[in-house]
Amino acid sequence: MTSGTLRIGIAGIHGRMGRMLVRSVQDAPAACLSGGTALTESAPVEGAPVFARIEDLADVSDLVIDFTHVSTVAAHARALADRRTPWVLGTTGLSGQEQAAVVAAAADIPVIQAANFSPGVTLVLRLARQMGAALPARSYDAEIVEMHHRQKVDAPSGTALAIGEAVADGRDVCLSDVKESGRDGHTGARAEGAIGFAALRGGQIVGEHTLLFTSAAEQIGLTHRAFDRRVFSDGAVQAALWLAGHEPGLYDMENVLGLKS
């Protein structure tokens, strides 16, 4: 850090989230934009250099925020760990091998990893875990409904899966063992203990997620709606400012919000 200002680099600076992150960094009084990466080296963004290599960005940054693509995660993990550059990671859909690369990097650098950097979603995940523990699977069916803009390419969304993981964690089960999604045709009765997913796409919806617990006698719903993508980029910058100066380890937004140590 220089003169108390955190130099933040943005991986994928020309992407939708990258452009939002530029604005969030500029609006943060204790941060400045150090540069970004793109598929090929390109013209500066707001006066900051744009590199083709994550290593070059790390060399001019105190911390890197990364919302790029799952295919880059392992390489970014190695490069940032080698340069001891802290990492805020918002990329979702990681395989077991890619997640292992993140965990390995966290042995050398502080890493914040989250499927969603919204403070509201962070609280939803915490409540989902508590509700999963309190509402028994034999009596309460858990379903997650999400809707996003028409351009979204993955389903269920990373946030929906994170909500499902939280419910499964509360019930002390593995989500992959109880997940049901993409129901179509004659599927038979709903399995007891299943955690169901429904994905809707249309228009320019930023993101809507609803967790439903339904029994024979009642239904409880927990909904989060995002109206502006700035909630994600502002949250990521908030996470970056919190992460600076922390010891190596794997952290999440609950750490940032002071919900756990």
- Cβ within 8 Å of residue 12, ≥6 positions away: 18, 36, 37, 38, 66, 67, 68, 69
pLDDT by residue (tens digit) across 45-68? 999 999 999 999 999 999 999 999
Q: What is the pLDDT of residues 195-241, one digit of tens each?
A: 999 999 999 999 999 999 999 999 999 999 999 999 999 999 999 99
Same domain, yes or no: 47 and 110: yes
The active-site residue out of 152, 179, 246, 260 is: 152
Alpha-carbon distance of 222 to 144, in angstroms, equals: 10
pLDDT tens digits, one per residue of 96-132: 999 999 999 999 999 999 999 999 999 999 999 999 9
Domains of the chain: total? 2
Catalytic residue flag (residue 149): no
- Confirm whether 53 is domain-assigned: yes
Spell out the alpha helix ranges (H) of the chain. 16-27, 54-59, 73-82, 96-105, 119-134, 158-170, 175-178, 230-243, 253-256
- Mean pLDDT, the chain, whole residue set: 95
63 domain residue, yes or no: yes
- DSSP H or E segment with residue 221: strand 219-226
The two structure tokens encoding residue 176: 């992959």
Same domain flag for 124 and 222: yes
**CATH number for the domain harbouring residue 41:** 3.40.50.720
What does the block give as tokens for 208?
Answer: 């809507």
Question: Is the pLDDT reported for residue 3 higher than 60?
Answer: no
The verdict on residue 165 lying in a domain is yes
% of the chain exceeding 70 in pLDDT: 99
Domain match, 175 and 101 both: no
Which amino acid appears at position 111 of this protein?
V
What's the CATH number where 135 sits? 3.30.360.10
Whether 1 has a pLDDT exceeding 50, the answer reads no
Burial 171-189 (b: 16+ CB within 10 A, else e): beeebeebbebeeeeeeee
The model's pTM is: 0.88
- Per the domain annotation, does 261 fall within a domain? no
Residues 130 and 218 in one domain: yes
What number is the average pLDDT over the span 137-146? 98
pLDDT digits over 13-25, tens only?
A: 999 999 999 999 9
Of residues 14, 69, 76, 148, which has the active-site annotation?
A: 148
**Residues 109 and 123 reside in one and the same domain:** no
- For residue 104, what are the CA distances in angstroms to 75, 78, 110, 165, 250? 12, 9, 11, 22, 10
**Per mean pLDDT, which range of 29-33, 147-151, 182-186 is the poorest?**
182-186
Distance from C-alpha of 203 to C-alpha of 206, rounded to nearest angstrom: 9
C-alpha span between 101 and 89 (Å, rounded): 12
Task: Round to whole Å and give the CA distance between 24 and 20.
Answer: 6
Q: Is 148 among the residues known to form the active site? A: yes
Which structural domain range is residue 26 located in? 6-117+229-256
pLDDT at 71 over 90: yes
